[in-house]
Amino acid sequence: MPIRPIVRFPDPRLRRRAEPVGSIDEDVQTLARDLTETMHAAPGIGITAPHVGILRRLVVIQLESDPEPHIYVDPEVVWSSPDRIRHVEGSVSMPGVTDELERHARVRVRYSGLDGEAHEEEAEGLMAVCLQHEIDQLDGIFWIDRLSKLKRDRLIKRFEKLHRIRA
């Protein structure tokens, strides 16, 4: 299970819509394992196939309280609550910077598991935020696109400065 290189902002692949996975084969299972290892090494609590340059609809999320990662194949939000919450977000593709975003407090997601079975799950709080964040990524919406232009421009400048200093 190798750790794969993470695509870094502003790579244009981060803003392209991912294609459905469809049938789950050995390659998809291997990708899910590699994504899990890559996410742990980053470190992060969520990652998508596009984060490693593969434009397929595959998500791995593992919150601190989760004993095992959650793997979502071809996930889609089928319902969102009207109530909203604010949470600090970031990305494995843009390390070192975060900002607060507003998201739906609860969502219902339809997806397939690695076993090919269809599932539907409702999530709230941090898990709901993570699902929306990662599904946005699959749709080609990078998390900073949800910020105001002013906040986005400031965050990009901070990111560029941080990585100029490290280089």
Vertex 56 angle, CA 29 and 92, to 5°:
90
Q: Which residues of 63-84 are buried (b: 16+ CB within 10 A; e: fewer)?
A: eeeeeebbbbbbbebeeeeeee
Model confidence over 88-99: pLDDT tens digits? 999 999 999 999
Question: What's the topology of domain 12-166?
Answer: Peptide Deformylase (3.90.45)
Half-sphere exposure of 22 (CA within 13 A, CB side): 3
- Lookup: tokens for 30: 């291997």
How do the domains of the chain map onto residue ranges? Answer: 12-166
Residue 135 confidence (pLDDT) above 70: yes
Q: What is the mean pLDDT of the chain?
A: 96
* pLDDT at res. 164: 85
Confidence of residue 60 (pLDDT cuts 50, 70, 90): very high
Query: What's the one-letter identity of residue 154?
Result: R
Q: Are 29 and 65 in contact (CB under 8 A)?
A: no
Q: Please indicate whether residue 121 is annotated as part of the active site.
A: no
The pTM assigned to this predicted structure is 0.96
Task: Give the pLDDT band (50/70/90) at residue 163.
Answer: confident
Give Cα 43 distance to the centre of its chain.
13
Checking if the pLDDT of 166 tops 70, the result is no
H-assigned helices in 14-143 = 26-41, 125-138
| Residue 2 token pair | 């190798």
* Residue of 19, 68, 124, 134 marked active site: 134
Q: How many residues does the chain have?
A: 167
* Per-residue confidence (pLDDT) for residue 46, from 0 to 100: 98
For residue 144, is pLDDT > 60?
Answer: yes
